[in-house]
Structure 1
Amino acid sequence: MDELSWEEWQSLCEMMNGYIKTQVLSSACDLGVFDVIERGATLASLPRQLEIDEHGCRVLLLGLKHLKLINVGETGKIENAPLTRRCLLRGSAQSMVPFVHLNDKIQHRACLHFTQALREGRNAGLDEFPGDTPTLYGRMAANPALERLFHEGMGAYTRLSPRMMAIEEFSDVSRLLDVGGGDGTNAIRLCERYPSVRVTLIDLPSVIEKARANIAARGLEERVTCEAVDMFTDPWPQGCDGVIFSHVLEIFSPEKIQFLYRKTRAYLADGGHLFVWSLMCDPDEAGGLQSVKSSLYFVTVASGQGMAYPVRDHTTWLRDAGFDVVSEYDARTIDHCALVAR
């Protein structure tokens, strides 16, 4: 048998050892390494500033230098790389630190149960979190700290998805129903970008209070109202000529998505707009990485269902529900797509 080529060996090592990158990044964010470095640090001073062992600090820096998140000068001064300054400082406008925490403490932790989930046909990663409800969202409702971590992380993730905002059809809507709107991040961004749009946000009771607080902090109470509603079982508030699902549908099975599309069609008057902003995999269902990761997370812990479905599935379901898909905004670089239907 031929020996492995260097390229094959490197590819195999990347698959086997990629989790190390996640662990180095997560530990650095837990320790606040990048914020300490930004205030001024050297190889000699960093262990004391972080209150960790010198040898452990050396190993951590080995990982951070490999990831090119820091640079060390000849004098031993440590500096953050440009990407680190932009996205990994806790106080930066585009900080992804909350999502790093979500990724580590919920998604990565739970996805260690992927094999068990496949064998048992259930979201076995849910065993990591106390409670008896069948989804992660139900268990978070009884765990305020976990729910806060989740929504802060998703808020950070959403803020770095600018393409969803550049949809011209939003200007044709006067009041938008944000279904499963979470902590209000999308509603706030939409109102700031489209001055004529008003939003009604619906979500579970434990989430709504967070949304109201965020909206009040931005002075948008007159334009965004929040109501505690179960999207499946409760009637939706009336008076909207548009509906948006943002990072909601991919959690569910095809049957539940089709139910929500039919419910939306019955809710909207003729000519009303439906906006779908979702993780979507490649047409041949061969990637990309974010769609694979999220699909594992949905199956292993979130709901035991769902995946980053390809565009064609959504298009079929929308047409079956009575919609015409009028626009497709491709964001394949981040494994997303936005669909606009009427």
Structure 2
Amino acid sequence: GLRDAVAAVVGPDAVERDRNRYPWRVLHGRLAESLRGEVGMTDEDFAWPPRTDEQTAAFERSMAVGLGPVLETLHRHADRLWADRRRLLDVGGGDGTLAARVLDDAPHLRADVFNLPAVAPLVADTRQRCGHPDRLGFVGGDFFAEPLPPGYDALAFVRVLHDWPNDVARRLVEAAYRALEPGGLLLIGEEFRTPDRLAMQFFWSYFLIGVDTCVSRLREVEFYTGLLKEVGFERVAVLPGGWELVTAYKPAA
């Protein structure tokens, strides 16, 4: 256990090593200048949205490195979540790392990643490396330009909704409701606002202003539980874990 913890912090795939791939030191000790917009990373160092295939790959790799807390919670509740599910759509699912890990715990499940077409080669790489390539797929699309694909009895937003304003988050939840099969499961996973998390986010918010003009939101979990009920979902619940998960079901009829 201790070896795994050390590897997670300083091993070759660690979050800290991933962060060090970016020249964050150009901002070190320059908070006032960063807040005034006088200093920041260049688009060559970090562009948002990514502008090249290399930047897209680097961004999705960084997102995958930070999935540990939500993967732990998904694993803990795997029997409850996936026992009667057959098809999962992971919306904005990065390079497929999360979907592949879900499939480890759900032998009867097929998972498709829904993401921009530029991400398809990254999911293909993940498919080659995972233990069940026949059950991991990819659907290219843009959830701002087209409906979410239908035919799924489970749909996940993991670290997606917090990137957008309240009205956009609502539209995406409504799109999920329309896309899901009757009785379908919707899962929302991200860091929800607590006093401790808010204190940690204080640093990252200021740091990211100088990196990528990040406006990621740290919302209270009640925002989502209330929204889901307003949209029409039922059996709304919050599952405990390193990051809590919000689950809800579309009525069966």
2:144 maps to which of 210, 228, 232: 232
Deviations 1:102-151 (A, max 9, x none): 434559569778767877xxxx69952328xxx9542x2x2333333322
Match in the other structure for 2:184? 272
2:19 maps to which of 83, 96, 103: 103
Contact 2:163 2:217 (C-alpha < 8 Å) held by counterparts: yes
Alignment of 1:22-171 (within 5 A): 83-85=5-7, 87-90=9-12, 95-96=13-14, 99-106=15-22, 108=24, 128-130=41-43, 136-138=47-49, 140=50, 142-159=51-68, 161-167=71-77, 168-171=80-83
2:117 maps to which of 175, 183, 205: 205
SS in 1 for 2:197: coil
Q: How many Å separate the matches in 2 of 1:245 and 1:177? A: 9
Q: Does 1:183 align with 2:95?
A: yes
Letter in 1 for 2:149: P
Match in the other structure for 1:251? 163
Deviations 1:203-237 (A, max 9, x none): 11222210111112225332111021112212222
Q: How many Å separate the matches in 1 of 2:23 and 2:166? A: 22
SS in 2 for 1:255: helix
Q: Does 1:339 align with 2:246?
A: yes
Unaligned residue ranges in structure 1 (runs of 5+): 1-79
Aligned length: 243
1:319 maps to which of 224, 229, 235: 229
Q: How many Å separate the matches in 2 of 1:257 and 1:214? A: 28
Contact 2:99 2:111 (C-alpha < 8 Å) held by counterparts: yes
Letter in 2 for 1:177: L
> Percent of aligned pairs with the same residue?
20
Structure number with greater CO (CA < 8 Å, separation at least 6) is 2
Alpha-carbon distance, 1:274 to partner: 0.1
Q: How many Å separate the matches in 2 of 1:266 and 1:241? A: 12
Alignment of 1:12-27 (within 5 A): none
Alpha-carbon distance, 1:166 to partner: 2.2
TM-score (norm 2): 0.80
Contact 2:34 2:40 (C-alpha < 8 Å) held by counterparts: no
Deviations 1:59-78 (A, max 9, x none): xxxxxxxxxxxxxxxxxxxx
SS in 2 for 1:154: helix
Letter in 1 for 2:114: I
Unaligned residue ranges in structure 2 (runs of 5+): none
Alpha-carbon distance, 1:306 to partner: 3.2
SS in 2 for 1:151: helix
For the aligned residues, what is the CA RMSD?
A: 3.3
SS in 2 for 1:276: strand
Cα distance 1:103–1:172, how it changes in 2: closer, same or farther (>3 A)? same
Q: How many Å separate the matches in 1 of 2:163 and 2:208? A: 6
Letter in 2 for 1:329: L
Report the structure, 1 or 2, having the larger helix content. 1
Cα distance 1:224–1:86, how it changes in 2: closer, same or farther (>3 A)? closer
Q: Does 1:221 align with 2:158?
A: no
Q: How many Å separate the matches in 1 of 2:33 and 2:178? A: 39
Cα distance 1:86–1:253, how it changes in 2: closer, same or farther (>3 A)? closer
Q: How many Å separate the matches in 1 of 2:169 and 2:210? A: 19
Q: How many Å separate the matches in 1 of 2:158 and 2:3? A: 32
Alpha-carbon distance, 1:271 to partner: 1.5
Alpha-carbon distance, 1:291 to partner: 4.1
SS in 2 for 1:186: helix
TM-score (norm 1): 0.61
Alpha-carbon distance, 1:82 to partner: 8.1
| Structure with bigger gyration radius | 1
